[in-house]
Amino acid sequence: MGVANRASKGQAARQGGASVTTVDRETRPTRHRDNWRFVAAILVALASALAVYILAEAGAGGAIGYALMVVLPATLSAFIAWAGSIGRDWSRGTFLAVPLWLAFAAAAIGAVFLREGIVCLVMVLPFWIGFGYLGIWPVYLYRRSRSRVDPATFRAHALLLLPFVALLIDHQLVPPRETRTVTRETIVDAPPAAVWPRLLDIPAIEPDEGRWNMSQDLLRLPRPVAARLIGEGPGAVREALWQDDIRFQEVMTGWQQGEALQWRFAFPDPSIHRRTDRHIEPHGRHLWIDSGGYRLIPLAHGRTKIQLWTRYRIATPFNGYAGWWGERILGDIQNNVLAIVAGRVENARSKR
């Protein structure tokens, strides 16, 4: 009796093992197909994104538009989440990771293959992450409400048409134009007469002059190396040399001895275009650095307030966001220049 029971149990175990093996063999091809379907979806998404990028760059509105900044990250995130969760029980964390991985992968591709600069990439990342989450949220809610995952991908493929529709809209829109002014100031323990000559010529700037700032130390924007004034009064030209052999001019349009300078920016050679992000060129279709100047304001006890201002124009669908960055980047550059001037004024007084 005992022998019979053990035999029957052994037979049942073998049958159970055989059934498990059979199930594994049946599910393995399904998983394999799902994996290949997901890889194919990634390739389709990449091809779609590159096509949108190329068409946006070739269009009148450039790459800074709703298609590339808003619609593309939202639809790509939704598409990848939909295709990736087919045949898989994705957790909430997996869904939430998609926009992050997508944004940083796009940044890496942009830096390595599309030669995008770090400033543009840093400015674009919040858009791609934020609108990526906006696109993925409906997919997550739909998947969570269904006990069985729908294997159909046609609806997901249809999502990839939306950026191309947005491109057509972008080409019809004229971005609003705004003029903005960024101003920074510092106070030195010297009268305006002692400060004035230090504004005109700034020769041989040492690497340890100036101050630390995010734009030039983290984002690696170039720093000034020297500035030389040719002539005097309105029409005089100050030739500026920055790191990476960047050269530009400041043509004087206002000259109040000991009180104020005003100039317009000129970029006569291509040095700055070779080094600067093409989307934020100083005389480009989205940004135009127009003019700048100094003001010297006398204070009590022989002190002087030095104000440095820069006026620029922007034309994008996101002028508020672009202006926020302009305030910080130009402000960092101005603070660095003011620190150089203030340091030289103080050094000149200490040597007397």
* Angle subtended by helix axes 319-350 and 118-145, to nearest 10: 140
**What is the rounded average pLDDT for all residues in the chain?**
88
Pick the CATH number of 177-350 from 3.30.530.20, 3.50.50.60, 3.40.190.10, 3.30.750.210: 3.30.530.20
- What is the distance, to the nearest Å, from the Cα of residue 337 to the centroid of all Cα atoms in its chain? 24
Strands (E), the chain: 177-188, 224-230, 237-242, 246-256, 260-266, 287-298, 304-315
Q: Which two tokens stand for residue 254?
A: 């206002």
Q: Are 265 and 240 in contact (CB under 8 A)?
A: no
At 18 the pLDDT is 47
Centre a 10 Å sphere on the Cβ of residue 69 and count the other Cβ atoms it contains: 23
At 191 the pLDDT is 96
Between 274 and 199, the higher pLDDT residue = 199
Would you say residue 206 has pLDDT above 80? Answer: yes
Which residue spans of the chain are classified as CATH 3.30.530.20? Answer: 177-350
pLDDT digits (tens, 9 = 90+) for 127-154: 999 999 999 999 999 888 875 655 555 5
pLDDT digits (tens, 9 = 90+) for 22-46: 445 545 555 566 677 778 878 888 8
Residue 83: which pLDDT band, with cuts at 50, 70 and 90? Answer: confident
pLDDT digits (tens, 9 = 90+) for 331-352: 999 999 999 999 999 998 877 6
Between 67 and 83, the higher pLDDT residue = 67
* Cα–Cα dist 51/72, whole Å: 11
At 3 the pLDDT is 47
Would you say residue 126 has pLDDT above 80? Answer: yes
Q: Are 284 and 57 in contact (CB under 8 A)?
A: no
Mention every residue, 6+ apart, whose C-beta is less than 8 A from residue 101: none
CA angle 170, 174, 179 (to 5 degrees): 130
